[in-house]
Chains A and B, each alone.
Chain A
Amino acid sequence: MVSIKIRNLELKTPLMLASGTWGLGENLDQFLTQQEIKKNIGALVTKGISIYPNEGNPPPRISETPCGLINSIGLENPGISVFKKIYLPKLKNYEIPLIVNLHGEKIEDFVNLVEELKEEKIEGVEINISCPNVEKGGIYFSSDPVAVKTLLKKLRKKWNRFLSVKLSPVGAVFEIAEICQREEADAIVVANTYPALKVLELKPFKVLKGGLSGPAIKPLTLRLVYELSKKLEIPVIGCGGIISGRDALEYLLCGAKAFQIGTANLINPRAAIKIMEEIKVLKDGLCSERYS
């Protein structure tokens, strides 16, 4: 697989591990060797990091649905200071590009987070806008193009390395994507999980509200990637239900410059290796066939 370049970010492969689906690398090396990581994974996108530690939501946090998974982890993370001190040194040892996913409750949080990362040797940041903006009564950043515009203007002044925005698949998707392009984000990640609900019990009635991921969402996100790639110049990183080489190739053919795998890591901790092997076989097959 040839290496790729998204603006100033060079990746050995187009495969990235999506945020929140491999922890903070605490035990990634139990399942993949250093060599396998370097050969197969283009970049690691960390779990969402916030200013303060967050212990996450009470159980239940996760439940299976047909061909998918609903999660409501609640952005469990150790906070930026502990992340920098404890987790980042180990993550750097993997010697592949590292993108830190950032989560904020107000614009100032994101600005402070990139300030905190300025001196660190990381390749980029991914901005999670699927979170409520407490300064605007809890309206999601992803539903508020004006807030996203202000946010990106401020971040661009502070951060000149790679910056991607992880879009929500719902809300003002196209408008927000255009703002990301105009405000010089380096890429958009299309997309986060879909707001969903599962009825866990009928009596007493109990539900789990969270984000839906997995193969169930692939056709929906693939459509978004296809349309956004046609409409905009900004590089699109596809993310939604990829669990095979065929899925990944479909995203690339629909216009994605790279792709992230998420739920696949939960099914199989070695999914990255399997998917890259499958892509190679598929590409070899496509190249060797003759079309008249």
Chain B
Amino acid sequence: MYIAEVILNKKESENIYLLGIKVSKNILKKFEPGQFLKIRLNEKLDPLIPRPFSVHFIESNILYILYQVVGKGTKSLSKIKKGDFLEFWGPLGKPFPRLKDYILCAGGVGVAGFGYLLQKNKKDKKYLPRKIFYGAKTKNELVRLDFFKKFHIPIEISTDDGSKGYRGFITELLEKEIQKNPKTILACGPFEMLKKIAKIAEKFKVDAYLVMETFLACGTGFCKGCVVPLKKGGYLHLCIDGPTLLSEEINLNGIY
């Protein structure tokens, strides 16, 4: 485990925070977009298991994480302050596949890990997405929009309540786009959104890479706890085979 100093833990919306931790450049350079790190609040027994987070972006020697408070782990994390220290381990998992001519689709805080993907590829434009689809429940939860706009990639927006952009689910906009212009999809967001995207991909015969989430204990392949069923039978282990998996290979109905 590495020890890192917290330099920022700022509220971006009601439940979403931006955390910045100081990390040595030797460690930072190992991180590829799509990989994750696990964070543990020092020596705490409850919550016991470190929580996984994607890298939102890296600037100088600061690693930024965008997270939503959903349970005990993220609630504890939201209470730490600038100058505190935390333990982390990473990079873990496989990077995103190296895609060209593709579309990004993010639901809520699922947008987090795409920041680093854009940042890392901004000089090599063929690896940037053609379009970004970004949906959230409300306008307030569409966090970090200004950050994503800086990459000059067309962004389509939706909110469930219509407070900004299209009123409805982002998958509805995505489906229209794929119908017109079939492309590979890279998606991260709520499980129901990923299930819908798997269906869209099947319908229009495009590949969809889904960034999956499940409770991870070790994150290192040690415990075999985070299985995702394969359509052909057997399982993948999300922490070492993922977290990004090709939708046509996995049985999403066997997960929950």
Q: Which A-chain residue is minimally distant from B238 (CB atoms)? A: A59
Any B CB within 8 A of the CB of A138: no
Pick out which of these stretches binds chain B: A23-31, A98-106, A112-120, A224-232: A23-31
Q: Which residues of B contact A67 (CB under 8 A)?
A: 45-46, 48
Any A CB within 8 A of the CB of B227: yes
> Could you tell me which residues of chain B, from 210 to 236, have a CB within 8 Å of some CB in chain A?
214-215, 217-218, 220-229, 233-235
In the complex, the answer to whether B47 meets A62 with C-beta atoms within 8 Å is no
In the complex, the answer to whether B49 meets A69 with C-beta atoms within 8 Å is yes
Q: How many residues of chain A are within 8 Å of chain B by beta carbon? A: 36
Question: For the complex, what is the distance from the CA of A31 to the CA of B48, rounded to whole Å?
Answer: 20
In the complex, the answer to whether A61 meets B218 with C-beta atoms within 8 Å is no
B223's partner among A55, A59, A62 (CB-CB below 8 A) is A62
In the complex, the answer to whether B224 meets A64 with C-beta atoms within 8 Å is no
Given contacts A67-B48, A266-B49, contact A62 B220 (CB under 8 A): no
Q: Which residues of A contact B46 (CB under 8 A)?
A: 66-67
Q: Kindly supply a per-residue 1/0 record for chain A positions 44-81, scoring 1 wherever the CB is within 8 Å of any chain B CB and 0 otherwise.
A: 00010000000110111111101111010100100000
Q: Which residues of B contact A274 (CB under 8 A)?
A: 1
In the complex, the answer to whether A58 meets B215 with C-beta atoms within 8 Å is no
> What are the nearest 7 A-B pairs in CB distance?
A62-B225, A266-B218, A67-B45, A266-B217, A61-B225, A22-B222, A76-B224
Q: How many residues of chain B are within 8 Å of chain A by beta carbon? A: 31
In the complex, the answer to whether B255 meets A59 with C-beta atoms within 8 Å is yes
Given contacts A67-B46, A69-B49, A267-B50, contact A62 B222 (CB under 8 A): no
Q: Which residues of A contact B47 (CB under 8 A)?
A: 64
Q: Which residues of B contact A263 (CB under 8 A)?
A: 48
Q: Which residues of A contact B256 (CB under 8 A)?
A: 59-60
**Dominant secondary structure of chain B at its interface with chain A:** loop
In the complex, the answer to whether A266 meets B223 with C-beta atoms within 8 Å is yes
A61's partner among B49, B89, B227 (CB-CB below 8 A) is B227
> Could you tell me which residues of chain B, from 38 to 58, have a CB within 8 Å of some CB in chain A?
40, 45-50
In the complex, the answer to whether B49 meets A267 with C-beta atoms within 8 Å is yes
Q: Which residues of A contact B229 (CB under 8 A)?
A: 58-59
In the complex, the answer to whether A56 meets B224 with C-beta atoms within 8 Å is yes
B218's partner among A76, A265, A270 (CB-CB below 8 A) is A265
In the complex, the answer to whether A266 meets B222 with C-beta atoms within 8 Å is yes
Q: Which B-chain residue is minimally distant from A59 (CB atoms)? A: B227
Any B CB within 8 A of the CB of A214: yes
Any A CB within 8 A of the CB of B8: no
Any B CB within 8 A of the CB of A132: no
> Could you tell me which residues of chain A, from 266 to 281, have a CB within 8 Å of some CB in chain B?
266-270, 274
Q: How far is the CB of B251 from chain A (nearest CB, A)?
A: 10
